[in-house]
Structure 1
Amino acid sequence: MSSPRPDRTGAVAPAVAVLLIAVLFGGLVGTWPPFVAVESGSMAPGVERGDLVVVTAADRPPWGDLATTADPDAPTRLGGAGDVVVYAVPGAGDRPVFHRLAFPVEAGEDWTERADPALLSGDCAELSTCPAPYDGYVTHGDANELYDQSAGIAPVVPEEWIAGKALFAVPNLGWIRVGIDAAAARYGGVATAVVLVGSAGLAGGVCALFVGRLRRGGRR
């Protein structure tokens, strides 16, 4: 009699389950990926480097429209008033920035008149982003000394650059993503993906073997 074919579904089940949960979560919050790994300390102490932040689409109910620090009824998120958003400046390597919305501006406005002087490096005539070239937002990292638009991090941020806003953060869970990004930058995306898939398969196989032994031990 031939031996029964080994059941290998247990080896991939953990990876499939994680992927399914991520897809379902992405559908719920309306963004993909639904998580952001924080790579700097610019939003400390509300969010530290290595934290994993869950984000939602900017207009996704029930969390409402975008709110800034200047709004009188701004919600408190991640240690401060106003929404913390993820945005990317086109042509700047598409490296996402994770900062708070300070206040909205209109095209042609001298926004320094409404700004906190302590967060400015000069007056409107000295800033390349002032007057505002279009409608958008002035942004700020909670731990930074200047507005993004004063520090040269970004011009005024229009709403179409905003990929999502933060809901909450999970401490230290983002180090995995930070490590993956660092490996991809050093060794390439393909090599990193091969290692990750192999590691996931190995981990799934070890888990399946362990569970199988427990089951066999329980039948004795």
Structure 2
Amino acid sequence: MSPPDESSPDGGRDTGPDGSGPVAWVRWFRHTDNGTVVFVREMLESVVVVVAIGLVLFAISGVWPPMVAVESGSMEPQMERGDLIFIVDENRFVPNAAQDGTGVVSYQQGKQSGYKSFNHYGDVIIYRPDGSVYETPIIHRARFWVESGENWYDEANPAYVAGADNCDELPNCPAPHAGFITKGDNNGAYDQVVRISEPVKPSWVRGTAEVKIPWLGHVRLFFSSTGVPSSVQYQPSQPMSNGTQYAPPA
């Protein structure tokens, strides 16, 4: 079947290649001035460029999708709504200060070694709360590591335990298993205190945040608002009854 018969810019009519065979058709498709074909050709070129960029980013990050959109303010001012974040598999480029076997540096370890990410000590991680594939992944900072059965109340910052006076008053204390205690930089309590997630197991971590591109995430958020998934988003901050800001699961 011949392509649409349309006039070329010089007033002629370009109905197809002069010769026959696939080579002639490919050559014609690449060089014709037929308006419809030019439009299709430009669309295909744009798709190829986008796919190529995606493959390069995936090759670097080891994570798909390699870019995620920030949905709200639990990590402000380090990350703001509409920022696009490039993430990398946590085992891709492991810092020397990382917790053994995880590839993640906690705030506590970062403070000891001088390792920083997004203006504070430790890594910002993307994790699935309680390991659930049905919950929206969360972007928060790894604060410190706990072992299974550990009473971590004395290790915690008193400002982030929502007024608890001892381990018995804290959810997830003693720790039900080994993992990271996490918190949004703009939140007033640990995720494990406000029951967003149990201590984050290494297998629940999707990657670490590496680079922020301001504003570009608004495109993904638009698709999210229209019902199209916008990839990983961190959760909106909501006040607890005592005024503490926390990030509830989606």
TM-score (norm 1): 0.79
Residue 70 of structure 1 aligns to a residue whose secondary structure is: helix
Match of 2:141 among 88, 100, 113: 100
Distance 1:58 1:74 in 2: 18
- Alignment match of 1:11 (pick from 43, 46, 56): 43
Deviation at 1:92, TM superposition (A): 7.4
The alignment status of 1:172 with 2:215, answered yes or no, reads yes
Query: Residues 1-220 of structure 1: matches in 2 within 5 Å?
Result: 3-5=14-16, 6=34, 7=37, 8-61=40-93, 65-71=103-109, 72-89=112-129, 90-91=131-132, 93-121=134-162, 122=164, 123-184=166-227
Q: Displaced runs of 4+ in structure 1, greater than 6 A?
A: none
Report SS of the residue matched to 1:177: helix
1:61 CA displacement: 2.2
The 1-side partners of 2:172 and 2:59 are apart by 36
1:2–1:50 distance in 2 versus 1, CA, 3 Å: closer
2:182 is paired with a residue whose SS is: strand
Percentage of identical aligned residues? 33
Aligned counterparts of 1:24 and 1:45: Cα–Cα separation in 2 = 29
User: How large is the RMSD of aligned CA atoms in angstroms?
Assistant: 2.0
In the alignment of these two chains, the number of paired residues is 187
Query: In 2, Cα distance between the equivalents of 1:51 and 1:82?
Result: 20
Flag the structure with larger Rg.
Answer: 2
Instruction: Judge conservation of contact 2:90–2:104 (CA < 8 Å) in 1.
Output: yes
In 1, Cα distance between equivalents of 2:78 and 2:65: 22
Query: What residue identity is the alignment partner of 2:211?
Result: F
In structure 2, distance between residues paired with 1:25 and 1:92: 23
Moved more, 12-21 or 78-87: 12-21
Higher relative contact order (CA 8 A, sep 6+): 1
Output the amino acid matched with 1:73: S
Q: Which segments of 5 or more consecutive residues in structure 1 lack a partner in the other structure?
A: 193-220
Contiguous gaps of at least 5 residues in structure 2: 1-11, 17-33, 97-102, 231-250
Contact map agreement 1:45 1:79 (CA 8 A) in 2: no
Distance 1:19 1:101 in 2: 32
Q: How far does the alpha carbon of each residue in 1:61-83 deviate from its partner, in whole angstroms, 9 at most, with x for none? A: 26562101101115211121100
Deviations 1:14-67 (A, max 9, x none): 122112201221111110000110111000001111100100001002656210
Q: Shift of the alpha carbon at 1:93?
A: 3.0
TM-score with structure 2 setting the length: 0.70
Q: For residues 104 and 63 of structure 1, what CA distance do their matches in structure 2 show?
A: 16
